Structure 1
Amino acid sequence: MKPDENPAPAIARSVDLAQHAEEWGYKRFWLAEHHSIDGLACSATAVLIGHIAGKTNSIRVGSGGIMLPNHAPLVVAEQFGTLEALYPGRIDLGLGRAPGGDFHTMRALRRSLQQSGDDFPELLEELRTYLGPVRAGQAVKATPGQNSNVPITLLGSSLFSAQLAARLGLPFAFAAHFAPEYLYAAADLYHREFKASAALEKPYMMVGVQIIAAETDGEAQRLFTTPQQRFLRLIRSQPVELLPPVDSMDMLWTDFERAAVMSKLGAAIVGSNATVKEGIERLVERTGASEIIVATDTFTHEARLESYKRVAEVARTVESAPVSAGL
Structure 2
Amino acid sequence: MTPKPLQQIDLSVLDLVPVIKGNTIADSFKNTLDLANRCDELGFTRFWISEHHNMESVASSATAVLLGQVAANTSRIRVGSGGIMLPNHSPLMVAEQFGTLETLFPGRIDLGLGRAPGTDQQTAAALRRGRTETVEDFPKDIAALQKYFSAANKNAAVRAIPGEGLDIPLYLLGSSTFSAQLAAMFGLSYAFASHFAPAYLQEALQLYREKFRPSENLKKPYSIACVNVIAAETDEEAEFLASSQKLFALGIIRNQRKPMPPPVNNLSELWNKGEEAAISQMMKYSFVGSKTTIEDRLSEFIKETEVDEIMAVSHIFNHESRIRSYEILSEIKEPLKDPFFDSQPPIE
Separation of aligned partners in 2, 1:113 and 1:139: 24
Percent of aligned pairs with the same amino acid: 46
SS at match of 2:258: coil
- State the Cα deviation string for residues 12-68 of structure 1 (Å, max 9, x = none): 100000011011110010000000011111000000000110011111100000000
What RMSD, in angstroms, separates the aligned Cα atoms of the two structures?
A: 1.3
Separation of aligned partners in 2, 1:275 and 1:121: 41
CA shift, 1:171, in A, is 0.3
Report if the CA contact (8 A) 1:214-1:306 is conserved: yes
Separation of aligned partners in 1, 2:76 and 2:287: 28
Please tell me whether residue 203 in structure 1 is matched to residue 238 in structure 2. no
| Cα distance change on mapping 1:162 and 1:195 into 2, 3 Å | same
- State the Cα deviation string for residues 227-250 of structure 1 (Å, max 9, x = none): 100000111111231111111211
TM-score, length of structure 1 as denominator length = 0.94
Moved more, 2-11 or 303-312: 2-11
Separation of aligned partners in 2, 1:80 and 1:117: 25
Among 264, 278, 282, the residue aligned to 2:282: 264
Q: Unpaired segments of 5 or more residues in structure 1?
A: 318-327
Report if the CA contact (8 A) 1:218-1:271 is conserved: yes
Among 197, 200, 203, the residue aligned to 1:185: 203
Among 238, 242, 247, the residue aligned to 1:220: 238
CA shift, 1:263, in A, is 1.6
Give 1:45's aligned residue.
Answer: 63
Report if the CA contact (8 A) 2:99-2:161 is conserved: yes
CA shift, 1:134, in A, is 2.4
Report if the CA contact (8 A) 1:134-1:141 is conserved: no
Give 1:31's aligned residue.
Answer: 49
Give 2:107's aligned residue.
Answer: 89
CA shift, 1:197, in A, is 1.3
Separation of aligned partners in 1, 2:154 and 2:33: 42
- State the Cα deviation string for residues 61-82 of structure 1 (Å, max 9, x = none): 0000000000000000000000
Please tell me whether residue 293 in structure 1 is matched to residue 311 in structure 2. yes
Please tell me whether residue 253 in structure 1 is matched to residue 271 in structure 2. yes
Separation of aligned partners in 2, 1:304 and 1:117: 38
- State the Cα deviation string for residues 77-126 of structure 1 (Å, max 9, x = none): 00000000000000000000000000111100111252256511000000
CA shift, 1:201, in A, is 1.1
Give 1:324's aligned residue.
Answer: none
- State the Cα deviation string for residues 194-226 of structure 1 (Å, max 9, x = none): 121111111110000000111111111111101
CA shift, 1:314, in A, is 1.3
Report how many aligned residue pairs link the two structures. Answer: 317
Q: Which runs of 4+ in 1 moved over 2 A?
A: 3-6, 115-118, 134-138
Separation of aligned partners in 2, 1:164 and 1:39: 31
SS at match of 1:270: strand
Report if the CA contact (8 A) 1:69-1:117 is conserved: no
Report if the CA contact (8 A) 2:44-2:330 is conserved: yes
Separation of aligned partners in 2, 1:238 and 1:54: 34
SS at match of 1:146: coil
CA shift, 1:137, in A, is 5.6
Paired residue type of 1:23 = E
TM-score, length of structure 2 as denominator length = 0.89
CA shift, 1:140, in A, is 0.6
Which is higher, the Rg of structure 1 or of structure 2? 2
Q: Unpaired segments of 5 or more residues in structure 2?
A: 1-18, 336-348
Paired residue type of 1:192 = E
Separation of aligned partners in 1, 2:52 and 2:119: 6
What aligned pairs does 1:144-163 form with structure 2 within 5 A after superposition?
144-163=162-181
Give 1:280's aligned residue.
Answer: 298
